[in-house]
């Protein structure tokens, strides 16, 4: 899936989740202040738009899920929470059960929080993993010893491969062309080295920035990516 389509899908997903949440919060307010007649009228009036919104939100969520490079358990917990919350809401509002209504909204909010916590944890874990990969001790020199320089270059590329495998493979894949989460095909990239470095450290669209990478690490990754083209 291309980066643009992924981007548009995630926008639609978030907008539909937000509308869904607002509808449910409004219903919850009516339920809590005991305006049960209003609640039933509102539910009846918005039954079809609500169904359309929930289909859009589940469908876009499903498409994003198929195309995501994020394979953590947190994601499954998040999806589990969403799937539990919807029937709770439907029953809660129908039967005028406040506890179920509150629980439904809490679960939806928790599933959002889950995704945010997950982002921070993976970032911290990744930082530790990246730091634990030993860097080659030497830099290529300008000496005439090409054989030695070849060897050093090989070591740097190998270092880059390990960093790439730890940080980038989920979306870009082993060969750079997996395209998960809308990731661009690195084999086909026409960007300059400087532009690539900027995207790697600062991120772009769905791709997070890797600001904790040192210059030498980014350089090693660039060297490795260049070998994917062949
Ligand atoms: C969460 C998924 C994800 C991860 C992880 C990820 N990327 Fe990306 N990458 C993307 C997406 C999406 C784009 C396209 C961004 C856009 O143009 O909107 C992209 C674009 C790029 C580009 C620009 C390619 C071009 O021609 O435009 C480079 C270079 C790149 N990524 C390198 C990396 C490297 C190196 C890593 C690991 C340090 C990495 N990416 C990790 C998703 C990811």
Q: What is the pLDDT of residue 140?
A: 61
Instruction: Give the pLDDT means over successive 10-residue stretches in the chain (230 positions).
Output: 85 94 96 96 95 94 85 81 92 96 93 81 88 83 73 92 95 93 92 96 91 94 90
Q: What is the pLDDT of residue 142?
A: 62
CA 222 to centroid of ligand 1, rounded, Å:
12
71: buried, middle or exposed (CB in 10 Å: 19+, 13-18, 0-12)? Answer: exposed
Is the CB of 16 within 6 Å of ligand 1?
no
**CA 107 to CA 126: how far, in whole Å?**
28
**CA 140 to CA 143: how far, in whole Å?**
9
Is the CB of 27 within 6 Å of ligand 1?
no
**CA 39 to CA 53: how far, in whole Å?**
18
Residue whose CA lies nearest to ligand 1 atom number 18: 205
**CA 122 to CA 14: how far, in whole Å?**
22
Minimum-distance ligand 1 atom for the alpha carbon of 210: 38
Q: What is the pLDDT of residue 92?
A: 96
**CA 20 to CA 41: how far, in whole Å?**
17
Is the CB of 183 within 6 Å of ligand 1?
yes
**CA 121 to CA 115: how far, in whole Å?**
10
CA nearest neighbour of 180 among 189, 169, 193: 169
């Amino acid at each position: 899936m291309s980066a643009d389509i992924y981007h548009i899908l995630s926008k639609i997903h978030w907008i539909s989740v937000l509308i869904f949440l607002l509808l449910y919060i409004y219903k919850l307010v009516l339920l809590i202040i005991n305006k049960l007649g209003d609640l039933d009228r509102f539910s009846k009036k918005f039954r079809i738009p609500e169904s359309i919104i929930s289909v859009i939100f589940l469908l876009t969520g499903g498409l994003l899920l198929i195309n995501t490079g994020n394979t953590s358990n947190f994601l499954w917990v998040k999806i589990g929470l969403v799937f539990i919350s919807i029937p709770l809401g439907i029953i809660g509002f129908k039967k005028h059960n406040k506890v179920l209504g509150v629980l439904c909204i809490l679960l939806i909010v928790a599933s959002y929080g889950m995704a945010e916590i997950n982002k921070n944890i993976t970032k911290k874990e990744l930082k530790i993993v990246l730091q634990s990969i030993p860097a080659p001790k030497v830099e290529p020199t300008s000496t005439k010893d090409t054989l030695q320089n070849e060897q050093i270059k090989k070591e740097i590329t190998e270092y880059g491969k390990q960093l790439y495998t730890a940080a980038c493979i989920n979306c870009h894949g082993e060969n750079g062309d997996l395209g998960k989460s809308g990731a661009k095909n690195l084999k086909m990239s026409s960007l300059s080295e400087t532009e690539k470095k900027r995207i790697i450290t600062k991120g772009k669209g769905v791709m997070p920035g890797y600001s904790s990478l040192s210059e030498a690490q980014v350089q090693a990754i660039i060297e490795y990516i260049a070998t994917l083209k062949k």
